[in-house]
Amino acid sequence: MDAVTLYHWEPNANSGKPMLALMEKGVPFSSHYIDMLQFDQHKPEYLAINPQGTIPAMTHNGLVLTESTAIMEYVNDRFDGPDLMPSDARDRWRVRWWMKFMDQWLGPSFSMIGWSVFVGPMVRQRDPAELAAAIERIPLPERRVAWRKAINGDFSESEMAESRRRVGLGIAKLEEELGKRPYVGSHEYSLADINIFNSTYSLPLSQPDLAGKDKTPNIMRWLKRVYTRDAVKRTWAMGKTDLANRYGLIMAEIEA
């Protein structure tokens, strides 16, 4: 009997990737919600699973897996259910191209903007001594820097400008790509859609100047296609914060 446990936060960015892959494949799993805003990911119980103190992580029959995109590939290869990688070599290349583009180049910029407008404001009113102690417990130095900047509102103007530039370019590129086929990597829904959707599902609300029904009709049609999948609805219902609660607002915007 397979035992799968997923340690995740909201269906958003990295956590949402294995959540959606497991749901699409129909793999039963124990969900272990890590409240990122309460720094659960740096507590000893979780560090025993993933010493880097980042989410998501998955265990499967004793094997510990980290890195959200690599976990999705494992889930797709290891379990029955619909294949989430296309069979054509060129399509597989395109799926992997887009996942690399998001994970390495575009995703960190979405993340910086999200941390400056959402994560920072959510935690910065807490007791400064408590926050300083929480930051001291973060194992990865680069995550310590990101938390400090988010809490103090210290992302520099030049790094924010670079993130905005990348987001603008990334949205334009995605709009162009989705003009060629119904899904990002091929004519079928794939891991590329799961990957990209987790960072772009709220674009009409978070980037109204860059995305919406007039500016990016291809992205809007794709968002609707993805949002109405059963696995997406069930995954988004697992969210506990306003991030996931925006489902209704976004659908209203897409259908308007």
Ligand X SMILES: N[C@@H](CCC(=O)N[C@@H](CS)C(=O)NCC(=O)O)C(=O)O
Q: Which residue in the block uniquely carries the two structure tokens 């399509």? A: 91
Distances (CA, A) of 13 to 1, 23, 110, 243: 30, 16, 9, 11
Q: Which residue in the block uniquely carries the two structure tokens 């969210």? A: 239
Nearer to ligand X, 13 or 106 (CB): 13
User: Per DSSP, which regions of the chain are E strands?
Assistant: 4-8, 30-33, 57-60, 63-66
Q: How far is the CB of 18 from ligand X (least distance, A)?
A: 9
Quote the CA–CA distance of 69 and 142 in Å, as a whole number: 20
Indicate whether 22 belongs to the interface with ligand X (CB under 6 A): no
The SS3 call for residue 161 is: helix
The one among 27, 41, 231, 250 contacting ligand X by CB under 6 A: 41
The closest of 170, 156, 176 to 206, measured between CA atoms, is 170
Could you give the string, one character per residue 85-124, with x where binding to ligand X holds by CB under 6 A and - elsewhere?
----------------------------------------
The closest of 219, 206, 205 to 109, measured between CA atoms, is 206
Indicate whether 67 belongs to the interface with ligand X (CB under 6 A): yes
Q: How far is the CB of 72 from ligand X (least distance, A)?
A: 10
Quote the CA–CA distance of 233 and 230 in Å, as a whole number: 5
Could you give the string, one character per residue 211-250, with x where binding to ligand X holds by CB under 6 A and - elsewhere?
----------------------------------------
By CB under 6 A, which span of 50-58, 153-161, 206-214, 232-240 interacts with ligand X? 50-58
Q: How far is the CB of 165 from ligand X (least distance, A)?
A: 21
Largest CA distance in the chain: 55
Type of residue at 256: A
Indicate whether 202 belongs to the interface with ligand X (CB under 6 A): no
Indicate whether 143 belongs to the interface with ligand X (CB under 6 A): yes
Distances (CA, A) of 139 to 24, 80, 119, 142, 175: 33, 36, 19, 9, 38
Nearer to ligand X, 138 or 210 (CB): 138
Indicate whether 54 belongs to the interface with ligand X (CB under 6 A): yes
Indicate whether 68 belongs to the interface with ligand X (CB under 6 A): yes
The binding site for ligand X (CB under 6 A) comprises 13-14, 36, 41, 53-56, 67-68, 138, 143
